[in-house]
Structure 1
Amino acid sequence: MKEHINNGPKPSIVIGKTDHVRLNNLALAAAGRLPEISDGLSLELERAAIVPDVSVPKNVVRMGSMVEYETDIGDTRRVTLVFPGDADISEGKITVLTPIGTALLGLAAGQTMGWTARDDRRHKLTILKVIEHPVDALVAPRDQTFSPKANE
């Protein structure tokens, strides 16, 4: 198994309770066939601030969120973070069981995160904006936003 590459200090992240439970189960289920990805996801889940689902700020990437981000080379991309069964790269739906999917999880607009691709190349991404998932309106209105610390 590869060791995790340190991409520098990691920003604070926020995850809703339901996503946290589902993602922990997913990480455990994936441990046998994708140990590096499973370990990376587990590490992110361990360091996350866990909040009630209705308290996840609207500017935080959660499962089902469409997010626009900028890469370290200046490209802007828009993707939706999904569970593995819903992944479809042609539709911009990326699974949380990829290095970039794990990196996006729990970040707020304005935050930057380093991540390492499967070929060991290091990258950084910055969240430009989080676009609400249509199901969010059925959960509860969320007026609050998460303000990352200045050094993130």
Structure 2
Amino acid sequence: MSKQPPIVIAESVYDAIANLIDERAEDAITQALSAELDRARIVTDKRLPADAVTIGSQVSFTVAATGKTFTYVLRLPRQISDPSVDLSVLSPVGSALIGLRQGQQIDWTIGAGKRTSITVTQVDAPIAA
């Protein structure tokens, strides 16, 4: 695996995701998400850069394996109201996106051991659930 890019997460989001992981049975996604939390730089909510992907961010990203670009709002599972626009932080791609900044790329497992690169192309301010 190549070196992963630095990530930044707001304290409140870190706490919400850590609690979510604690409440769930351990699986590949919770393990990967936990590893992301462990390596993240944690900042106060006010100091989170505007271009950092956080819960509620509308994020556009390109998946190298398909060459397709997608746009979703990253959400906690309980916040998802429309799967056509909302992406769970507990999904393979959602767990890869948290904490990335616009322009960053990450190599990630997206299912059944399949790896790809995901590049964040745009991040818009958080949208309330």
Instruction: State the TM-score, normalizing by the size of structure 2.
Output: 0.91
Unaligned runs of 5+ in 1: 1-6, 136-152
* C-alpha contact (below 8 Å) 1:11/1:113 kept by paired residues: yes
Larger radius of gyration: 1
**1:16 corresponds to which of 5, 10, 25:** 10
* C-alpha contact (below 8 Å) 1:63/1:81 kept by paired residues: yes
Q: How many residues align?
A: 127
What is the CA deviation profile of residues 38-90 of structure 1, one whole-angstrom value per residue up to 9, with x for unaligned ones?
11111000000000001100000000100011120321110111001223564
1:75 is the counterpart of 2:51: no
CA RMSD across the alignment? 1.4
1:45 is the counterpart of 2:33: no
What percent identity do the matched residue pairs reach? 31
Unaligned runs of 5+ in 2: none
TM alignment of 1:118-137, pairs within 5 A: 118-135=111-128
What is the CA deviation profile of residues 96-148 of structure 1, one whole-angstrom value per residue up to 9, with x for unaligned ones?
1111111000000010011112221111111111011245xxxxxxxxxxxxx
1:100, 1:84 → 2: CA distance? 13
Moved over 6 A (4+): none
In the alignment, residue 107 of structure 2 is paired with which amino acid? G
Name the structure with the higher strand share.
2
The farther-off stretch of 52-61 and 64-73 is: 64-73
Instruction: State the TM-score, normalizing by the size of structure 1.
Output: 0.78
Give the corresponding residue for 1:143.
none
